[in-house]
Amino acid sequence: MKKSILTLTSLLGISGISYAQNLECGTPDLSYEQFLSQRELADRILAKNANLKNTQLITYVAVQAHLIGTDAGTGYASANNLNNALSELNRKFAAFNVQFYFKGTDFLYYPNSLYHSGDQPDSETLMFSQQNSSNNSMNLFLANSVKRGGSGVGGWSYVAPSSQSFNITWVVNGQLDDDKTTPHEFGHYFGLSHTFNNSTNATVSNRELVTRNFSEPLPRLSANCDTKGDFICDTPSDPRGLTNATTSNCAYNGTAVDANSDMFAPFMNNLMDYNFCPPYSFTAGQYSRMQNVGLPIVNNSSSFTLNAPETPQPVPTNITSSTSDYTNQFALNWTDNSTVETGYLIEAKAEGSTVYIPVKGVMKNAVTANNFSKLTAGTKYNFRIKASNTKTNFSAESALIQFPALCGNNNVTSCAPNNATDANWNIENVKVTQNSTVLVQNLNTNCSAGSVGNYYATHIANLAAGSTATVEAKAKASSTGSAYTAYVKVYVDWNKDSIFDEITEKVIEKSGFNGMTESFLIPPATATGSYRMRIALSTSTSGFAGATSCRVSFGEIEDYQLAITNGNLSIRENETEKTGIYPNPVDEILFIKSAVKYKKFNIYSAEGRLVLKGDVEYNKINVSTLEKGYYIVELSDSSSNNVKHKILKK
């Protein structure tokens, strides 16, 4: 439905507003007296209604969305973004059992370029908001530009409004779905101040101190976090606005001090600050404030309610998924059986959990959703879907679905099909060997489509847990023997979650002319099964930074299978009574006690990566350069017989 804008000419004063974002914001601070007034009002409401103290009950809050466009009816906020923002609100506010749904069967649309561009005085904007606001829901106004006092902001909202005149929240279109701005403004609506509230107050005693000790010895001042700042003690004092209160790359590096000469250490990812440093969150104290102050006030006003009727309608059915390995694509599909939905909200429950979590919102008439940034790779989920203008009218639960597809190579500057003469940066030859026996050989493979070669099903290396294997990966050399320096990483997906962890699953990192040859250890505790080994080769001048498990610059990715069996180690590998090493734990020098003359050693990290190798001299190995942790020491004699021992480096 389209709704025409009303003509507003009268003037109405405003007070007590908080408004935010675009990094800078002219929001007025909330005084302690104003906060006390709100808390006393909430206490009176709670005292009259004991049911409101039951924090286990879910409060459903209706939201009327007001979309403002140009005179031509263009430039409205994205319905996809609006539904996804509602999903994120439900995710963030679930911690104190508040959930949101849209009012009506469509949003309200206002074609007016003046309000779309923010080019109206604050008084006119306020009157427009009041004239068009619903009195049985929250009112969320969305425009291309939102201004207060002539300056652009990301949004604004009254703090815990008790009157319909102030039942108003504004958010700029461009920040609607950034996971920060809309929850921030709704935080104001439910009673929260900025974390830096009064941080630059001209009266220093009105500023929040860093200390949380309420019994500081004189002459130090005791904590005042309950009466200053945002009046919440689990949010550190935030010096934003003070001289020398600087930040860099989402880290506070300021030198400003408080009245006790204490250095500040503010959070950088709180939803009520102005740092865009995800992941964003509220604290327990902020949730408690919203639960016990803001919610009772806005949900018990004498001039408005938040309980607009939900819209009855049939639920979605036939939830399925589609994935495509190496393209990073995952899509959830369903049948849309409604004609009156405002959009759809998708929730997911991880395998083994009992809790559904909002993960995505999409526009009306949608029958598929993708780009699920809130899900964990390698995890199986049940999904359910409801219309965004309903409370609990969910679809049936889907079967378990694994997320996501296996990642590919997310880089456009990778290999290209080469000619027979010139050097190239594709993986040309791969060998996996053990004790000179070739287990896998893949030669002259050229550049694979998408710069990812999938040989998992066809090239399989059979190995035993606790044994070592050698990987050779070479790029394409020219006909005259010239080649690039290759930076190679090899990963094994030990936990089978479709993610190649840079710390726990990288078994080789080595560079060399045109490629490398290196050994790694199959950890002795590895269970019998099939494991994906991924080789990432880059010839980029950025070195190893150019080669990651899902992205290589000027290179290629190839996948192979390791078929691991876990039986007992060989007799020789278990002959600890004939070969001993000491001390264990070890700090610097590891001694070998054996009748066998061992020539060489390899030391592997717990995940199987070769971290140190060399010749055994005088039955000693210097391990002082190793970091603390567990390692496997492999000793080899002149006949290539070997034994392995587990050590702890102190």
Query: Containing H/E element for 80?
Result: helix 79-93
Residue 14 or residue 321, greater confidence: 321
| Domain contains 431 | yes
Domain that holds residue 66: 37-190
Does a structural domain hold residue 571? no
Per-residue pLDDT band at 15 (split at 50, 70, 90): very low
Q: How confident is the model at residue 27 (pLDDT cuts 50, 70, 90)?
A: low
Q: What is the CATH number of the domain that holds 391?
A: 2.60.40.10
Do 243 and 119 sit in the same domain of this protein? no
- Shared domain for 415 and 397, answered yes or no, is no
**Whole-prediction pTM value?**
0.71
**Section 4-12 average pLDDT:** 28
For residue 568, the model assigns a pLDDT of 53
Residue 90 lies in a domain: yes
pLDDT at residue 522 is higher than 80: yes
Residues 151 and 72 in one domain: yes
Asked if the structure places residue 20 within a domain, the reply is no
Point out the least confidently predicted range of 18-32, 136-150, 433-447: 18-32
Asked if 396 and 481 sit in the same domain, the reply is no
Average pLDDT (368-373) is: 89
Residues 6+ apart with CB under 8 A from 210: 236, 237, 258, 260, 262, 263, 264, 265
Which of 310-319, 478-487, 570-579 has the lowest average pLDDT? 570-579
DSSP string, 36-47: HHHHHHHHHHHH
Domain limit, last residue, from 368, 383, 403: 403
| d(C-alpha 270, C-alpha 280), whole Å | 6
Contact between 454 and 403 under an 8 Å Cβ cutoff? The reply is: no
pLDDT at res. 375: 86
**267 found inside a domain:** yes
Residue 106: which CATH number? Answer: 3.40.390.10
CB 39 within 8 A of CB 30: no
Task: Give the domain-ending residue among 372, 403, 434.
Answer: 403
- How large is the average pLDDT for residues 264-293? 95
Mean pLDDT of the chain: 90
Q: Are 176 and 123 in the same domain? A: yes
DSSP symbol at 376: P
Its sign, for the CA torsion 395, 136, 173, 271, is: negative
CA dihedral 87→88→93→98, nearest 10 degrees, is -10
Cα 223 to its chain centre, rounded Å, is 34
Show which of 360, 381, 403 is a domain's final residue. Answer: 403
The pLDDT tens digits of the residues spanning 89-131 come to 999 999 999 999 999 999 999 999 999 999 899 999 999 999 9
Per the structure, how many domains does the chain have?
5
CA distance 316 to 364: 12
* Measured torsion, CA atoms of residues 553, 559, 560, 566, in degrees rounded to the nearest 10: 100
Task: Verify that 560 and 600 share a domain, yes or no.
Answer: no
The answer to whether residue 303 is domain-embedded is no
Query: Which of 329 and 287 is assigned the larger pLDDT?
Result: 287
Q: What's the angle, vertex CA 5, arms to CA 3 and CA 11, rounded to 5?
A: 145
- Same domain as 607, residue 555: no
- What confidence tens digit (pLDDT) does each residue in 340-360 have? 999 999 999 999 999 999 999
Q: Are residues 47 and 158 in the same domain?
A: yes
Contact 202, 234 (CB under 8 A): no
Contact 65, 82 (CB under 8 A): yes
Report if residue 118 sits inside a domain: yes
d(CA 624, CA 615): 16
Q: In this structure, are 529 and 551 located in the same domain?
A: yes
Cα 376–chain centre separation: 9
Q: Are residues 465 and 596 in the same domain?
A: no
pLDDT in tens, 562-618: 999 987 544 333 344 356 889 999 999 999 988 888 999 999 998 899 999 999 999
**Residue 644 sits in a domain of what CATH number?**
2.60.40
43 and 93 belong to one structural domain: yes
Report if residue 213 sits inside a domain: yes
Sign of the dihedral defined by the CA atoms of residues 285, 290, 296, 301, in that order = positive
Are 374 and 492 members of one domain? no
